[in-house]
Amino acid sequence: MNTSTKLIKTGLFVGAAAGFLSLGFVVRAAEMTEPPTAAVAPAQPEAAPAAPAAPAAPATDTGDKAKPLVTIGTRTLTVGDLERRINAQIPFIRKRYANEDEKKKFLDATVDFEVLAMEARKLGLDKNAEVVEAAKRVMIHRQRQVVIESRVTLEQITDAEVQDYYDKHLVEFQRPERRRVGIIVVADEAKAKTIRAEVDKTNGDLRAFQQLVKDNSIDEETKSRSGLLPFFEKEGSKIEKAVVDATFAMAKAGDLTGPVKVEKGWAVMRLSGISPAVDKKMDDVKDQLKRRILTDRQQKEFQKYVEELRAKANIKIHKDKLALVKVDTTTTPGPGPDFAAPGGPHGAGPMMPGRMGPGPRGMGPDGPGPRGMGPGPVAPAPAPQQ
């Protein structure tokens, strides 16, 4: 057995065991949402997290897809089962399984996972309270996909709505270059020249500059922020003109200038960051904006759906008893995250479970909602301080 296979199998056993006990094992949860199929094998350690659960199998596989691939006791894994599991991976991961050796590793890891699942059932873990709660989260995740994502679709979003969203968020897509500068302000030019010499000795080192701010600057407002001013534009800024002109005269982050005469005295400045100009036309970001609008609508539709269900349910809340719930606010370590709590340990929120995929890297939630629901950045973020 080669090193790669050992790593996969070791990771599988550790990750799966942890997942069965803490998150609730996914195989059991999957049985409550779709016809039984083989569990997804873990991605190799350097790969991206596992994709969401594979699509449900068709009512009847035919031809080669119906042929048994593996039999584990009374459990049969068909060619179609494994094919669906592989093809449920994201394209980047899926490509590797075109290689026969990698495909065999996937099959081997899937068998390991099924064996663990069978043993977990024998141990009664499928009736464990945490497992049952985790299964509920998986069902609700599937419920969201089936109910909400069919009610609100990308095709329903019109070009006019996208244009309206673009116009209301124009600052994200049309913005001039912005810069950020660190500044040391002293009372006289001679002192400023001395400070500049000290800065030059360190080649503009950031930490050295910040220490000089702390030790010498007379401008308390910027001193409290290690000398940093907020990002500002060349035109229309509230920053005094001398500082703006000196900042935009520098070529790159880390450059120095000064002494410069300013309102409070004399300044030595260091260019900390440049946020490039943004010029994105509506057509450039149309698809991304549609996704944003879709996400927002689906969230609202889901909340509406929950409210409808609450209205139909016979709910009685004894709010006066809420005070009886004691919260430990000390730093004493607890037993670990309560994976049975709504939303999981990462704070995804009630009825908004994170993506759950079998295998060491897919055992836990790694973000609220299904893959691809987040809007993602459209405009570039400000350059990091240097």
CATH of the domain at 204: 3.10.50.40
- Whether 126 and 199 share a structural domain: no
Domain boundary (242, 276, 310) is at: 276
Does residue 120 lie in a domain region?
yes
Which of these ranges, 211-220, 258-267, 321-330, has the smallest mean pLDDT? 321-330
- Determine the Cα–Cα distance for residues 34 and 360; give it in Å rounded to an integer: 22
Domain boundary (225, 249, 276) is at: 276
- Whether 116 and 190 share a structural domain: no
Q: How confident is the model at residue 149 (pLDDT cuts 50, 70, 90)?
A: confident
Does residue 163 lie in a domain region?
no
Which of these ranges, 49-63, 164-178, 194-208, 231-245, has the smallest mean pLDDT? 49-63
Residue ranges of E strands in 187-293? 232-233, 256-262, 265-275, 278-279
Select the more confidently predicted residue: 377 or 141. 141
Q: How confident is the model at residue 74 (pLDDT cuts 50, 70, 90)?
A: confident
- Determine the Cα–Cα distance for residues 310 and 287; give it in Å rounded to an integer: 35
Q: Which residues pair with 260 in a beta bridge?
A: 267
- Whether 128 and 188 share a structural domain: no
Total tally of structural domains belonging to the chain: 2
Which of these ranges, 223-227, 250-254, 289-293, 367-371, has the smallest mean pLDDT? 367-371
3-state helix, strand, coil split of the chain in percent (to 5) is: 50, 10, 40
Domain boundary (276, 293, 328) is at: 276
- Determine the Cα–Cα distance for residues 296 and 169; give it in Å rounded to an integer: 15
- Determine the Cα–Cα distance for residues 35 and 59; give it in Å rounded to an integer: 9
- Whether 70 and 190 share a structural domain: no
- Determine the Cα–Cα distance for residues 299 and 161; give it in Å rounded to an integer: 17
Does residue 154 lie in a domain region?
no
- Determine the Cα–Cα distance for residues 38 and 117; give it in Å rounded to an integer: 10
The pLDDT tens digits for 91-120 are 889 899 999 999 999 999 999 999 999 999
- Here the tokens at position 249 are 């005269």
Does residue 281 lie in a domain region?
no
Q: Which domain holds residue 258?
A: 177-276
Task: With a cut of 70, say whether residue 347 has pLDDT above it.
Answer: no
